[in-house]
Amino acid sequence: MTAAIQKSWVIPEDSAQLTIKEFLQKKQGFSRRLLTAMKQEGGKFLINEKKRYITEALRKNDTLTVIFPDEVSGGIEATEMNLAIIYEDEDHLVLNKPAGQACLPAMNDRRDSLANGIQAYYNASDHPATVHIVTRLDRDTSGLVLVAKNRYAHALLSKAQKKNQIHRTYEAIITGEMTPSAGTVHAPIARKKTSIIEREVNWEDGKEATTHYQTVSKLSGASLLRIQLETGRTHQIRVHFSHLGHPLLGDDLYGGSTDALERQALHCTAIEWENPFEHKKMQFHCMLSSDMAACKKSLSMDYPGNL
């Protein structure tokens, strides 16, 4: 039998006399939508192991347990695949996504996305939740992806993401050399009017976008940068460096050459956030992808300063 997802809290003095509903909303970040789903789908609320209504008042040292209803898969097909799992606990999954794989199914690719593989992984372990990807990457961007293993964790992590409390570090190989070698790009981004996919810097209609960068190494006709985002606009890194005249290698959508690499040279190398349940820092790293590492090595060997 599948074990239900559940959370428990011992009620502190400052939460005594709150109702279950008030405690969950005010102290534990439950949304009205999540509480409605609990009610409609058969969730349970227990005080000291006895079932109670959500309007029941709490007392100091009570143990409140919330048992979540099983989640519907959302129509994501399960596809067996080898997942590069970096970390896992009952609420989080961190994976290293390869380039060439979408995070979510699309109209022309219903079975080979990262979500399809995660769903198969969940099915194999009878995990009663659907796939909640918190930090998505473009199909041709590789690296770390954070997944919430239940909708409560997803709600808390999504809230943290909107407050810029989930920090990701990227490495990118750009065309040419940045001057200065480290800095910040402030340039608003909007969808290009002539394209469904492409974005552009647009000073009139764009949304605020801020990118911090630092040169890690200079290469032949290129540079390896370490990048952190303050905002999360679609294609932000690709658009900003293309706008500055330094498109990412392999990024032909934004003017990058595909001679040295056939996909945009962008990899998420690190991710950091606070565990919303244990309130401790979570931090993970991964190596540069093999194709980008090979590209860096080749261009490094040709760089005059390295001869």
Residues identified as active-site = 138
Q: How far apart are CA 69 and CA 305, in angstroms?
A: 61
Closest CA relative to residue 154, chosen from 31, 26, 4: 31
Q: Across the chain, where does the E strand assignment appear?
A: 6-10, 44-47, 50-51, 63-67, 85-88, 92-97, 132-133, 142-148, 167-175, 182-186, 189-191, 199-201, 210-219, 222-229, 266-274, 281-285
The answer to whether the beta carbons of residues 102 and 227 sit under 8 Å apart is no
Compute the chain's Rg from CA coordinates.
23
Count of helices and strands (H, E) across the chain: 6, 16
* C-alpha pair distances (Å), 214 with each of 143, 164, 247, 257: 19, 20, 15, 22
| 211 backbone dihedrals φ, ψ, rounded to 5° | -130, 130
Query: For residues 112 and 83, what is the distance between their CA atoms, to the nearest angstrom?
Result: 12
- Tokens at 294, concatenated: 């090979």
